[in-house]
């Protein structure tokens, strides 16, 4: 086992991959179905041909520039493992800020109802559902493949019975008259022209539908702000992830759409990252 993964590590080193050892170990653990300790303990054993083929398959993809999380198809978010497919964005650590804020908002409520727009892997609502057992969530995405993954992830984390997926654009699939305590969204917010300048891991492997926010990056915020008021309870909150330079513009879009209590929050790197908006400003 040891010789097999070290051969891959050496290949990665020669290819200039900074994380050669870590990547090779992670692939070996996944290909051989072992944890780190077992990989060490079974160091001298020979690898069955089938498993070696899997390992070599992973290595070939990595050498072509595919990120490790894409190859393994799993990413940790809020301490939970989320399965990915080609239609889902890899959940980012900064999006956990929305979960933290969302928990503060729904914590005092009984049986809160959440709507997550552009759900991808379902990471935001699923994380929230695992924290409170009386909460229910509706998750919308334009991609049926993303919703399949979100459904899988919700079932995997034991919240599938409180999680509904709906396919369509933003509020289109929501029944008129439905009202939510919390609407969350991490929408696509990259300017179309900027996508070509992103790191290859993102540009070539995250789905375009998850990135492209239109010419000025703000198309999704306009669409969501225009209708969110119709689907929020009077005391409800809208929680949006934003790009670091978008706070002013999204603030203005929300105020223009009738929102009052608009608060901007920064991430750990000190960058504007999230906006909370309410129909009625907090007293
Ligand atoms: C930036 S990704 C966020 C995914 C996930 N919420 C997360 O934080 O990892 C944006 C998501 O919005 C979806 N999307 C894009 N346009 C949409 C639309 N018009 N209506 C609904 N979902 C849309 C994409 O398919 C993608 O899953």
**Residue reference for tokens 């978010």:** 77
Testing ligand 1's pocket by substitution, the residue of 147, 209, 211 carrying the most ligand atoms inside 8 A of its CB is 209
Give me the chain's average pLDDT, please. Answer: 96
**In this model, does residue 282 exceed pLDDT 80?**
no
Q: Grade residue 280 by pLDDT with cuts at 50, 70 and 90.
A: confident
CA distance 99 to 77: 10
What are 139-180's pLDDT values in tens digits? 999 999 999 999 999 999 999 999 999 999 999 999 999 999
CB-ligand 1 contact for 140 (6 Å cutoff) = yes
**Binding site membership of 169 for ligand 1 (Cβ less than 6 Å):** yes
Mean pLDDT of 212-231: 97
Question: Of 73, 79, 65, which Cα lies nearest the Cα of 27?
Answer: 73
Q: What percent of the chain shows pLDDT beyond 70?
A: 99
Give first-to-last CA distance, the chain, whole Å.
Answer: 63
Distance in angstroms (rounded) separating the CA atoms of residues 173 and 16: 47
3-state secondary structure (DSSP) of residue 125: helix
In the chain the domains, ranked by start, together with CATH numbers, are 2-72 (1.10.8), 75-278 (3.40.50.150)
- The yes-or-no verdict on residue 206 having pLDDT over 70 is yes
Which pLDDT tens digit goes with each residue over 87-146? 999 999 999 999 999 999 999 999 999 999 999 999 999 999 999 999 999 999 999 999
Residue 183 is predicted with a pLDDT of: 98
How many angstroms separate the CA atoms of 152 and 141, rounded?
15
Query: Which residue's CA is minimally distant from atom 12 of ligand 1?
Result: 118
Kindly give the number of the ligand 1 atom that is closest to the alpha carbon of 98: 8
Strand partners, 81: 76
Question: What 8-state DSSP symbol labels residue 44?
Answer: T
Which residue from 174, 165, 206, 172 is spatially nearest to 189, judged by alpha carbons?
206
Sole residue written with tokens 């070696």:
52
Query: Does pLDDT of 199 surpass 70?
Result: yes
Number of H helices, E strands in the chain: 12, 9
CA–CA dist 4, 9 (Å, integer): 9
Q: Does any ligand 1 atom lie closer than 6 A to the CB of residue 208?
A: no
């Amino acid at each position: 086992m040891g010789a097999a993964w070290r051969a891959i590590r050496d290949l990665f080193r020669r290819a200039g991959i900074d994380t050669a050892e870590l990547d090779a170990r992670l692939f070996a653990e996944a290909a051989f179905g072992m944890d780190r300790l077992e990989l060490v303990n079974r160091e001298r054993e020979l690898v069955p041909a089938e498993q070696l083929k899997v390992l070599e398959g992973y290595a070939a993809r990595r050498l072509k520039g595919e990120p490790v999380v894409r190859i393994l198809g799993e990413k940790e978010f809020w301490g939970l493992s989320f399965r990915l497919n080609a239609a889902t964005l890899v959940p980012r650590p900064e999006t956990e800020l929305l979960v933290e804020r969302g928990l503060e908002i729904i914590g005092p409520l009984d049986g809160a109802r959440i709507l997550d727009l552009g759900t991808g892997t379902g990471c935001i609502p699923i994380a929230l559902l695992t924290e409170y057992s009386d909460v229910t969530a509706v998750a919308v995405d334009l991609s049926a493949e993303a919703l399949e993954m979100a459904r899988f992830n919700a079932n995997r984390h034991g919240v599938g019975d409180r999680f509904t997926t709906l396919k369509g654009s933003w509020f289109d699939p929501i029944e008129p008259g439905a009202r939510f305590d919390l609407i969350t969204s991490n929408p696509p917010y990259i300017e179309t022209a900027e996508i070509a300048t992103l790191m290859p891991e993102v540009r070539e492997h995250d789905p375009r539908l998850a990135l492209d926010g239109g010419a000025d990056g703000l198309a999704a915020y306009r669409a969501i702000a225009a209708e969110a008021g119709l689907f929020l309870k009077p005391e409800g909150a809208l929680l949006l992830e934003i790009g670091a330079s978008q706070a002013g513009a999204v603030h203005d879009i929300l105020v223009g759409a009738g929102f009052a209590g608009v608060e901007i929050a920064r991430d750990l790197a000190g960058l504007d990252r999230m906006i909370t908006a309410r129909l009625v400003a907090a007293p």
